[in-house]
Structure 1
Amino acid sequence: MELQITSNNMEVTPRLRTYVEKKTARLDRYLPSLTGIQVTLAMENTRSAVQRHVAEITIRDERGTILRAEERHSDMFAAIDAVVDKLYRQIERYRGKRKAKTRGKGEEQDLGEPLPIAEEFVEEEQVIVRHKRFALHPMSPEEAVDQMELLGHDFYVFFNADEDGVNVIYRRRDGTFGLLQPEMG
């Protein structure tokens, strides 16, 4: 398992690095197929001191699954604790879905140790309640931003004429925009 720690607008002290390593070391016990952990620590200039420190963790497993969580707090150590707790919940949900898919196939999968929060976590059944079809028109990402603004949405699916594929433009929390460009894996 590879651990990668990056930072934005702050220095990662040895104490902070050790704390992150200690907190993330247990993740592979609960998800044995874990291949990499990417931790991003940032300090943002916000009006609210409560949301100044940002901890983001992205984990990948052998199957190509990506789990990502982000938390903001007034203290970096508290943000790290909160984001690791959020990842535990995501791992529990992911393992539950994998277990449900393999039931009845007669094969056993090593899903790792039970999570420490498993008793508190109550899985809700997720049901798709609406299907929507729409025509995709070729446009540039800039035109997609304009369309998204006109509709008042936080994301917009479009056919990117420049890249010759379906993309998603979305509004980030800081007011900027992001572009998702899927690739076949």
Structure 2
Amino acid sequence: MEFVIRGKGMEVTESLREYSLNKLQRIERFLDQANEAVVHVTLKVTRNQQGVEVTIPNAPIILRAEEMNKDMYAAIDAVIEKLERQMKKYKTKVNRKFRNDNSLKAMNSEEYGGGQAVLTEDPEEIIRKKRFALKPMDEEEAILQMNMLDHQFFVYKDMETNETNVVYRRHDGRYGLIQGA
């Protein structure tokens, strides 16, 4: 596993780096392809809060967690616990749903692009573009992925129709689906 630890608005001390690395190795057991995984960690300070954001884009799913606390070490502990809960929840659902299904094999065998951001300089245009390789999955798995990323929507390729679809969280807490034509 490769760790990329950076500070945003702060300098990452050696003790913070060591503490982060030590704690992050706990999630290694959940990753099937741990040798290939790249873990992006951002330690940041905003006002009176200190935060940690961890993203693992090339795991079988995109893992992302963010925590804020007055103490950086407590924030690191909280974000690791959050990642562990996400992985346990994901593994439980996948094992239950795909016990005899080949879709999990297809999902893990395809190379998943972690997304490449392109920033533009014109303030009146789109400021960020991302490109992702879409993995085939069903609606339930897309909703699970969206919730694990804590996003409002998720774009995916439907495994039955091979069309690009979008699931999204509605204001009432339920979910919507936009299907490609």
Q: TM-score range by the shorter chain?
A: 0.5 to 0.7
Task: Pick from 57, 61, 80 the counterpart of residue 60 of structure 1.
Answer: 57
Q: The residue matched to 1:4 in structure 2 has which SS?
A: strand
Other-structure match for 1:86: 82
**One-letter code aligned to 1:12:** V
Q: For the aligned residues, what is the CA RMSD? A: 3.1
Q: 1:34-45 residue pairs with structure 2 within 5 A?
A: 34=34, 35-45=37-47
Identity of aligned residues (%): 38
How much does 1:141 deviate? 5.7
Is 1:29 matched with 2:29?
A: yes
Structure 2 equivalent of residue 76 of structure 1:
72
Which amino acid is 1:38 matched to? Answer: H
2: CA distance between counterparts of 1:70 and 1:85? 11
Equivalent of 1:96 in 88, 92, 96: 92
Task: Please state how far the C-alpha of 1:155 moved relative to its aligned partner.
Answer: 6.7
String of CA shifts for 1:54-104, please: whole Å, max 9, x gaps.
Answer: 1011113453x2010000000000000000000010001111122123313
* Aligned residue type for 2:28: D
**Given residue 27 of structure 2, which amino acid in structure 1 is its aligned partner?**
L
In the alignment, structure 1 segments of 5+ residues that lack a partner are: 110-139, 143-153, 158-165, 168-185
Larger Rg over CA atoms: 1
Q: How many residues align?
A: 110
In the aligned structure 2, how far is the partner of 1:70 from the partner of 1:55? 6
* TM-score where L is the length of structure 1: 0.52
Provide the C-alpha distance between the structure 2 equivalents of 1:103 and 1:3, rounded to a whole number of angstroms: 32
TM-score, scaled to structure 2: 0.53
SS at match of 1:26: helix
